[in-house]
Structure 1
Amino acid sequence: MANHDEIDDDSPYRVHSRREIIALLTSMMEKNQLLSLLIKGGSESVITSILEVDEDDDSLIIDAAPSATLNESIVSSKRIGFEALYNSIRITFNVDGARQVEYQSRPALKVDIPESLVRLQRREYFRIPTPIAKPLRCTFRITQADGSFVTVVTLLNNISAGGVGITDEKKLLPTTPGAVYEDCQLELGDNTLVSVKLQVRDCKEFKMTNGKVVNRFGCQFIDIPRTVLAAIQRFITKLEREQNAKASGMM
């Protein structure tokens, strides 16, 4: 799951026009478009939206995170990423830092209008966070050298049609980049379970709020069957609808 905001400056997917950037962000604001705010290299994310585009101040006002701890983490981050799926186009951009402000008598965050952003009409790279209240799991069945099997259960952080982000709280899963796991079971909610082949793309240590250090992985689907991909896309659509409903006060 590559970070496509790192696309070269001369790429046709990267937009540098300030007028286009402001027009796009304003349109997203007017339609209450949800964005994923990513910190710590994408290992932690929250859902937010744009509250105001201030061209004169060269800034965006966005919804604050739901907890003070998360807001502190965001404000202390030097690099903040944003992702959104807008009109079937994936939008990504980065900003350098955020400040806590108050907007219409509620907590908010202020960031600079990005100097550039990336537009990719490729849905498979859009990552969406999974519900925190109802954690889902990704289970690895690993073959040992002696032919025996060991099972490692991880938590599913986010999902796209290209791969998943997972947390290994017990640090049992080998962290070798490029390692391929043939037999993985992925929970998609509503008692739906699919089998996938995963390749480890990256791994980072992450310190949780309780002080515990865990491993967070970015994994890519390998040779995924069409039926499984269709089930994952339906699940992503369901999550998007639920998050949009919550944002509009319908849930």
Structure 2
Amino acid sequence: MHSYLQDADLENWHDFEVESRKEILNLLRGIGEKNQLIRMLVRGEADVCVTSILEVDADNNAVILDCSVNPEQNARILAAPAISYETTLDKIRILFRSERAESCVYEGSPAFKIALPASLIRLQRREFYRMNTPVGNPVRVLIPFPAEFGGGANSFPLADISCGGIAILDNKLLLGEAIGREYADCRIELPEIGQITTGLQVRNCTDLTLLNNKTNRRLGCQFTDIPRSALNAVQRYITKLERERNARIAGLA
């Protein structure tokens, strides 16, 4: 699947293959509903056509695409043995492939029909890729308080984690809401991976009102001075969460 990726900085991207039919249908329908443009790569970057999804036909395992205004380009697309597709949805690049496209008519106009892809790749810059952490048995971060806050250390549950940082829940409002405040030597116990130590800087703050009218504060924190070994541990933990999530989706499909 990766042979048509041209990015020199591919290690800066986080990707995983989606093989759940249900999730593929949902992603393609989302692309169609948002009228996201799709680049069709007939022979790599040498021949690119911009199209969009007109319909996702689950019953016939087909995707209907708009065709080009250029008849010669349409002929090249119909003659191509394989076509690569690239688009975006909510800052995530979506990549997939099809074998030969067929011509068809959709709502009275010419269109292309391809088979529903058996898999696709979601590709997202690592620092933006966030995984929700478990709610029932939350991952916790131990934050040492400076002397002006009374010293000691307090433990907070995580809401999500990425390679760039974490979101924590401060339901006792102990941390204040100062954007830019830094905390050193914070310890996070990653289940089945181990403990990491990193600095944290508060980057954003959101107050949430729960159903019982209690307030919970969500703080988005960026890792600072994080060792490479700790970052590798975070990536392994994200991969672990992702596998568990994909297994749940496959079980529901």
Q: Is the 8 A contact 2:93 2:124 kept in 1?
A: no
| Aligned match for 2:238, one of 236, 239, 248 | 236
Scaled by the length of structure 2, the TM-score of the pair is 0.54
- Please state how far the C-alpha of 1:229 moved relative to its aligned partner: 0.3
**Structure 2: any 5+ residue segments left out of the alignment?**
1-16, 36-53, 57-88, 96-121
Aligned to 1:108: none
Instruction: Please state how far the C-alpha of 1:143 moved relative to its aligned partner.
Output: 1.5
Relative distance call for 1:123 and 1:54 in structure 2 (3 A) is closer
**Structure 1 residues 139 and 85 mapped into 2: Cα distance closer, same or farther (>3 Å)?**
farther
SS at match of 1:233: helix
Instruction: Classify the secondary structure of the residue corresponding to 1:240.
Output: helix
TM-superposed CA distance for 1:151, in Å, is: 1.7
Residue 244 of structure 1 aligns with an amino acid whose one-letter code is N
Q: What are the equivalent positions in structure 2 for 1:1-150 lying under 5 Å apart?
A: 32-33=22-23, 49-50=26-27, 52=29, 55=32, 82=90, 122-145=125-148, 149-150=151-152
In the alignment, is the contact (CA less than 8 A) between 1:85 and 1:123 conserved in 2? no
User: CA separation of 1:54/1:191 partners in 2, compared to 1, >3 Å: closer, same or farther?
Assistant: closer
Alignment CA distance shift 1:54-1:133 (3 Å): same
State the SS of the aligned residue for 1:231. helix
CA distance in 1, matches of 2:125, 2:33: 33
1:177 corresponds to which residue? 179
Partner of residue 206, structure 1: 208
Q: 1:221 to 1:33 in 2, by over 3 A?
A: farther
State whether residues 85 and 126 of structure 1, in contact with CA within 8 Å, keep that contact through their aligned partners in structure 2: no
Residue 141 of structure 1: CA displacement? 0.5
> Percent of aligned pairs with the same residue?
36
3-state SS in 2 of match to 1:239: helix
Residues 177 and 243 from structure 1, CA distance in 2 versus in 1: closer, same or farther, beyond 3 angstroms? Answer: same
CA distance in 2, matches of 1:50, 1:120: 13
> Which ranges in structure 1 are unaligned for 5 or more consecutive residues?
1-26, 35-48, 62-80, 88-118
Moved over 3 A (4+): 27-34, 49-61, 81-87
CA RMSD of aligned residues (A): 3.7
In the alignment, the residues of structure 1 paired with residue 154 and residue 217 of structure 2 have an alpha-carbon distance, to the nearest angstrom, of 13
Residues in 2 aligned to 1:140 and 1:56: alpha-carbon distance in whole angstroms:
43
CA separation in 2, counterparts of 1:124 and 1:131? Answer: 20
Question: Is the Cα contact below 8 Å between 1:29 and 1:51 reproduced in 2?
Answer: no
Give yes or no for contact 1:83–1:126 (8 Å, CA) kept in 2.
no
Match of 1:210, as an amino acid?
A: N
C-alpha displacement of 1:56? 8.2
Counterpart in the other structure of 1:6: none
CA shift digits 1:157-192 (9 cap, x unpaired) = 000000001100110012110011002111211372
Conserved 8 A contact 1:165-1:216: yes
